[in-house]
Structure 1
Amino acid sequence: MGRDADGYPVTRTPGGVVRGARSARDLAAVDDRVSGCRACPRLVAWREEVAEVKRAAFRDQVYWGRPVTGMGPADARIAVVGLAPAAHGGNRTGRIFTGDRSGDWIFAALWRAGLANQPTSVSRDDGLQVNDVRIVSAVRCAPPDNAPTPAERDTCSPWLARELQLLPRLRVAVVLGGFGWSALLPVLAAAGYALPRPRPRFGHGVEVELAGPGGPLTLLGSYHVSQQNTFTGRLTEPMLDAVLQRAVSLAAG
């Protein structure tokens, strides 16, 4: 596995993603390998174009322009699973859900739930810390029109699978949106979790308990914190708070 100019190990094929994820011994190794992934040509071209052209408001900033890793400690009992980084959010700042309105919503809610030390996330050096939660995404690169393809989702899934395997205390997964839900279920099935048939459908407030090799895991569905949902009132702060409070309660129990 070669390394790029910044020292990250480069992965160029779906098979390389499988091998790189499987051999990662800890979350730091997963993050390192995710940061150098180039396995999806369309996503690589888009994230790098956005990082070069930039948005006018951020023209003086150096964009991350790489895949965006997860965030949170290895002893987390809760995972929050999103869709993908935003072109001028995580793709700019290099931290998941950071620098856009979606991040404003999720980190404020995590703070209210006692899972973050501050309600805002604007840059990688702003002092934000989370506890008892690992925040991940189904796809690690910003996609055009916020729409990864099924093939891109599947290529990226080994990173998600390995990340979850490296959370030995994981008890709850809060899934933001139907895309994340559809991406997570096959990952859990491959990891040995018993999925009911028919497979549970996504919905806000849906709660599904799965038996697995490391103990039970409860899935909680929430509408995504996208502007499409928050601006229209489809998702409100009390709705999101209720899901996260339920997650904290289940993790503690």
Structure 2
Amino acid sequence: MKPVCRLLLVSVFGLMLAHPLSISGQWNKKPYTEWSEKEAMKLLNDSPWGQTHTFTDMSKSFSTGPGSNPSASSTPTADASVRNVHLRVRFLSARPVREAFARMIELNQKSKIPEQFAAQLKAFVARGFNDYVVVTVDCDSAESKQELQQVQALLNNRTTADLKNNTYLQSGIQKIFLEEYQSPKSDGLGARLVFPRLVDGKPWLTSENVDIHFYSELSSTYKVDTRYKVKDMIYQGKLEY
């Protein structure tokens, strides 16, 4: 992705905390170019292809090191002493996720998008993932920049060797372990976790499966755990993941 596209991706994600995710997305009922900002953000953070895992710390001191004990929660509280860090887990290899990213960029533009940049966005959306499943993990926090920076540092410092034995996608009894970890780039998409799409030459996930379980131990404290219903991941007649 070209630098200008990366910068614009980064610029729009700061909007995500400013809006509630209460509406029901109707992503299959209209083109992504007609999605509202709320619909695009809901797809990224609370949808069949994008989930949020929230870590909550009730104390005033928040640390990713030894001795900290944040708990995972899906319902943030308004208590000022509570600090939340949200980890956004998205299937980048699913077309609707890429469409939502592209739509957020379009909505953030005050003028018409240049033709060359529009072509780049279309190529980003249309990109194929025939051999790999790519999950992205990003983070944000409305309570404290310090805590956010700590988790970002964790994502920046992880390696494939650190995660390959404790990060996987699971459906039924089958576990597909991490093949490659890529730390966050300047495009604003977050860390990329790459998994094989094929086992013995065939897709390991089909519409016959019930769900997908994503699990990753980023550290002894931060264990990310999200689930996705396969039947809800059908998009425009195709299983997208």
Task: Indicate whether the TM-score tops 0.5.
Answer: no
Structure whose residues are more often strand by fraction: 2
Q: What is the TM-score when the length of structure 1 is the normalising length?
A: 0.28
Structure whose residues are more often helix by fraction: 1
Task: Tell me: higher relative CO, structure 1 or 2? Use CA pairs within 8 A at least 6 residues apart.
Answer: 2
Q: What is the TM-score when the length of structure 2 is the normalising length?
A: 0.29
